[in-house]
Structures are given as structure tokens and as C-alpha cells.
Amino acid sequence: MLTREEIRHFRHCGYLKRPDALPPALVAELKETILTDRAAGAEPVVRDENGRVVRLSQVLDRAPVFHQAATHPPLLNILGSLLGPCIEVVKNRHNHATLNLATGTRDTYHRDAVQWSRSLLSAILYLEDTNLENGCTQIVPGSHLLPGLDLLHKVEEEQWVAESNLLSQAIPVPMSAGDILLMDGLVFHRIGPNYTQNTRMSMTLGYHSADELRPEEDPTRIIVSGTRTYRGNDRKPN
């Protein structure tokens, strides 16, 4: 469970670091599975300009260890402090494992949702130590409180963002293998560039509180804690 101060920090700054959230054995199994799928070129994958696999997509449809990580009880406890008891993991945002090789293409500052009223909580599970050399995550604290945008990526293309000098307020977030970074989906962030010859492996997942106003089952979401309870005003009285 998170402390009241950690919850406030997350809500106020838009992120929270949680050390030692994943046990070494789970981290090792995830890394081994990612490297096996990369070697096999198991689709769907994202490749860089040289054809190298830099990301495995749709990990929740791959080996059970990815689902095991997404539902790791200490992670669900942490999420419960922020999202309440009924939680869904989404399959159509994130749901990927990243190798972050040194490439010519840099990640841009982006958001993971366009508007706050249906944002999501992004969880980055680090499988290797990350630092400024190998491209730790960079975030602009507090930027989740700024207005919504009509774009996800290249947030600087929005004039007010470009004129705000905000992106130069970004801070690097070094983390260790097994740590988890929780982010409000609206916080500006990016993967840092990797200047080494090694991987910087991580897995990113998106979570929501179960949507009380959605009557139907949604195949793009998996309930990972509690139940999905419809609470719309149009429910028939008992």
C-alpha cells in the first residue's frame, strides 16, 4: 500500500517511484522471455531503421509471465492505493516491452492520453538498471495538470507547449531493475536516448479504474482486481 504522502506526490507531481516492486526471479524470467521473442522475431514487433527489434508489442497475448507481472500482487496493491479496488489493464495502449537500443530515432515528449477525464495510469516496470547513459525515462513533473491536447506525440508541436519553455524542465528518472515508475498518463515524458551498446529493457502497462459507466464487456481490457460494476443512472431498479 502507498502512504498518504506518496498518493499526494503522485497526484500533485504526476509520477511516483516505487523501488523493489518486482522480485529478481520475475525480472529474470521477463528478460529471458523478451530476448527469446526478440531472437525469434515473434510478431507483433517494432523495428528500428536497421531492422532490429526494439519493441515487442501485445505482450499480454504472449507468454504467461507478462500477465503474471501485470498482476503481481504487490503491484496490484500499489495500484489499488491510486485506482481503488476495481482495476483493469488495457490491451490497446502500451502493453509492450521495450529494448531501447541506441538508434537514430529519438523518442519525443508525449502523453499516454489526450484528456484527463479518461486518462490512464502508466506503469513502467524496469528490467535493467536505467541511468542517463542508457536512456532513463525523462518527465516534466506537474505537466499532467496542463490542458488536454489533440495529439499524443511531439507535444512541442502544440504552440503553447513550444512557447512555454516547459520541456526544458524535464528531469531524468534513474531506476534500478525491479523498480516501477507510476505515471499519470497526461504527464509529458519520453524514453531517454541510449548512448551504450546494451539494451535498457522495460515493460510498460496501462491501468484504469474499472469504468462504472460502461455497461458492456470490453475486449480491450482485462479486469485484474475486483469486479466491473455498472453504476449508470439507467439501471433498472431492483
Ligand X SMILES: O=C(O)CCC(=O)C(=O)O
Q: Which residues would be at the binding site for ligand X (CB under 6 A)? A: 94, 98, 124, 137, 189, 191, 202, 204
Q: Closer to ligand X by CB, 174 or 226: give it.
A: 174
**Closest distance of CB 61 from ligand X, Å:** 17
Phi/psi of residue 181, nearest 5 degrees: -110, 125
Strands 180-184 and 15-18: antiparallel
**Closest distance of CB 66 from ligand X, Å:** 14
**Closest distance of CB 103 from ligand X, Å:** 14
The Cα 49–Cα 219 span in angstroms is 33
DSSP letters, 27-90, are: HHHHHHHHHHHHHHT-SSEEE-TTS-EEEE--GGGS-HHHHHHHT-HHHHHHHHHHH-S-EEEE
**Closest distance of CB 215 from ligand X, Å:** 30
Q: What is the dihedral sign for C-alpha 221, 223, 224, 230? A: positive
**Closest distance of CB 143 from ligand X, Å:** 13
Q: Closer to ligand X by CB, 54 or 76: give it.
A: 54
Q: How many CB atoms lie within 10 A of CB 192?
A: 23
Q: Indicate the burial class of 99 (C-beta count within 10 angstroms; 0-12, 13-18, 19 or more).
A: buried
List the one residue out of 62, 145, 133, 61 whose CA is nearest residue 100.
Answer: 133
Q: Closer to ligand X by CB, 102 or 214: give it.
A: 102
Q: Closer to ligand X by CB, 87 or 113: give it.
A: 113
Q: Closer to ligand X by CB, 91 or 189: give it.
A: 189
The Cα 215–Cα 229 span in angstroms is 8
**Closest distance of CB 197 from ligand X, Å:** 18
Q: Closer to ligand X by CB, 71 or 131: give it.
A: 131
The Cα 6–Cα 15 span in angstroms is 9
Q: Closer to ligand X by CB, 86 or 203: give it.
A: 203
**Closest distance of CB 162 from ligand X, Å:** 20
